[in-house]
Structure 1
Amino acid sequence: MNRFISNTIISISIIQCILILILSIYYFYLGIEWGMNERLMLLMLSDSAYALLIPSTIALLLRKQWGWWYTVIVYCKLFLAKITAVIAEMYMLYNNTIAEPFQISIFIFDVLLIFLFVAVICFFFISKVRSYFCVQMKKNVLLFFMIISALILYVMHVITMLLVIKLL
């Protein structure tokens, strides 16, 4: 079982690296195509939370206890952000206040991302995974701390985005 956990953590780390690489290439391409304009800056800022996966990858590979905490908080934040974005988009579509038409492929992708985030969070809450990282608190206490930490991180990200929008 320990080997399975180790291999799964390595796989998660590799997927995180691939995701960061893909996003970096995507924004580099958009920078060339669009130029560095306000729209691209806002798009990059909204997805900047994925950069938090870089330290997560390092900490997971080094099997650090803080890496467990950090990773779960980041995935909880990504989950909250994606849920909020999907709800906001559905609300705007319902009220016809969005300029873009509904695209089922984007909606399915967003739902799949939500399930991925939940799956990663659930994986890290498995008792053997928690003991692999020497996390010894009860699940309900951990969940409370994760939710509060993710909310704080999410609010900080939103405030940063609003400040940058005001400056642009």
Structure 2
Amino acid sequence: MKIAVFCGSSTGNDSIYVNEAEKLGEFFAINDIDLVYGGGKVGLMGTIANAVLANGGKVYGVIPEYLQEKEIAHTDLTELFVVTDMHERKAKMASMADAFVALPGGAGTLEEIFEAWTWAQLGHHSKPCALYNSNGFYQHLLAMITNMTTSGFLHAKYAEMLILADNPKELLYRIEAYQPPEKKWT
């Protein structure tokens, strides 16, 4: 299995985010789950990649040319794909991955997981999308998603398709048990 992880190019201001990324990376490697991610060696991106590699796992990075220097491309990966832009990055990651997981991060992390989730709603793929809720990081976002649902902008079945987990075993269990809802607009 290959899981695409979207996460911060910084580590945040609480060491719990680094610790949780390391634990998830170790879990991936031990359970023969390959990591597909943004290709940087900085922030949580580098943290999870290093943890997978340190435990004998495979890591596939996808980085746009113009971010290769800014995000300091990780050169010790199983394979690094250098692409032209963010659109190509996301398409490449989506084609490689069996599931998508967002660890803590900023606007880019949200944009990436929301695009994957939107594609799932529209039926472009039937892969699970998850929020890894380290230290309750995504609680406020979940409240917003609930507000979207109660306000009539998001059908409950599409809100419920977004997996929430705060530990590696629960995450893997929920990814493996995932059943996509009926496609939107069918």
TM-score (norm 2): 0.27
Q: Which has the higher contact order (CA 8 A, sep 6+)?
A: 1
Task: Identify the structure with the greater strand proportion.
Answer: 2
Task: Identify the structure with the greater helix proportion.
Answer: 1
Structure label with greater radius of gyration: 1
